[in-house]
Amino acid sequence: PPSLLELLDCVLSLIFGGFTWLQNFRMRKATFLGLCAELAPTLRRTDTRLRAALSVEKRVAIAVWKLATPDSYRSVANQFGVGKSTVGIVVMQVCTAINRILFRRTVTLGNVQDIVDGFAQMGFPNCGGAIDGTHIPILAPPHLTSEYINRKGYFSMVLQALVDHRGRFTDIYTGWPGKVHDITVGDVEMPIVILGDPAYPLMPWLMKPYTGKLDRSKDRFNYRLSRCRMTVECAFGRLKGRWRSLYGKLHVLESSIPAIITACCILHNICEGKGETFSDEWASEVQRLEAEFAQPESRANREAQHSASRIRDALKEHFEAESQQ
């Protein structure tokens, strides 16, 4: 008898015609089926006298298709032969299940030393991650509308994330762990730091670029920081490239948007961890959409602690000394 994979492949081929799995689901069939198996205990429903329940595989396929494309709920409903309202319900059910079952295991700090070593190979010592925020376009909310308009004039919700050297999300929305290990740079004690842009305050655990007039050593420091901080910008690009709904002005209540964004971050980590293909076509599409939904410029916070300035200056001098060896 045919396997579950073969049956599902046949059904989905009928639904999607000649489209490829990767284009529609952003992951291989094996990864998709693994996801279904993880979510099955939560998503499985029993038949009623009135109708047969949607299978777990079809529920996950509906949700992943919606997250991966800019298609409307009506279009997705037509693709899968279900009602428009069913698509909306299924998407939230699947996103909630992804968050509940996979978040703690997937969006995690992991091995701190591996991360520190990874960033060290990129040129920045004792770094535990790169942090940044990105604006996710949304429809105008019915309440507190003015609070969601960004400086570029469109409605958005901010995702703030910390990523490791591989571009995987290690923390979203929540704080950084309190226990860290210091190293010495010159004669200055340095904790594990994360790297941010000028909008973030300079802290002993958060390094940001020098601004204003730059000499050679400050410019070198900024280059090293920027090279490592690119990991978070690349992660956002790949996140949005895979999950196009994040550019589609999500048609859900603002209270539901964080669950969808979080689910997309989890799926990003799963795809990155399994080495799923990322198409050049998706990258080009992200560049086009980023121009349409330009990110508001960050406002720099100039208040900096004295100890943080000493750490940054010590790193600057350390990089300068390395360049002269």
- Whichever domain contains 71, its CATH number is 1.10.472
Reduce the DSSP state of residue 77 to 3 states and report it.
Answer: helix
> 106, 128, 146: which is the final residue of a domain?
106
Residue 55 to residue 43: CA distance in whole angstroms: 9
- Are 136 and 185 found together in one domain? yes
Entry pTM: 0.78
- Are 117 and 94 found together in one domain? no
- Token readout for 1 is 């008898």
- Are 100 and 234 found together in one domain? no
> 51, 75, 106: which is the final residue of a domain?
106
Residue 99 to residue 167: CA distance in whole angstroms: 19
Provide the number of structural domains found in the chain. Answer: 2
Terminal alpha carbon distance of the chain: 68
Structural domain boundaries enclosing 65 = 4-106
- Are 102 and 121 found together in one domain? no
- Are 66 and 122 found together in one domain? no
Angle at CA of residue 66, ends 262 and 102, nearest 5°: 35
- Are 308 and 226 found together in one domain? yes
- Are 96 and 177 found together in one domain? no
- Non-local (6+) Cβ contacts of 225 within 8 A are 124, 195, 207, 208, 209
- Where helices occur in the chain by DSSP H, the ranges are 4-16, 21-25, 29-43, 56-68, 73-80, 84-106, 112-122, 216-242, 257-273, 280-292, 306-323
Q: What is the pLDDT along the chain (325 residues), one digit of tens a residue?
A: 555 555 565 655 555 544 477 888 888 888 999 999 999 999 988 766 667 788 899 999 999 999 998 888 899 999 888 999 999 999 999 999 999 999 989 998 888 899 999 999 999 999 999 988 888 888 877 776 777 777 788 888 888 888 999 999 998 863 222 223 456 777 777 767 788 888 787 887 788 899 888 899 999 999 999 999 999 999 999 999 999 988 876 777 777 888 899 999 999 999 999 999 898 888 888 888 888 888 776 554 444 456 778 888 889 898 988 888 7
- Are 190 and 248 found together in one domain? yes
- Token readout for 116 is 């520190």
> 78, 106, 134: which is the final residue of a domain?
106
Which residues on neighbouring strands pair with residue 132, listed in sequence order? 161
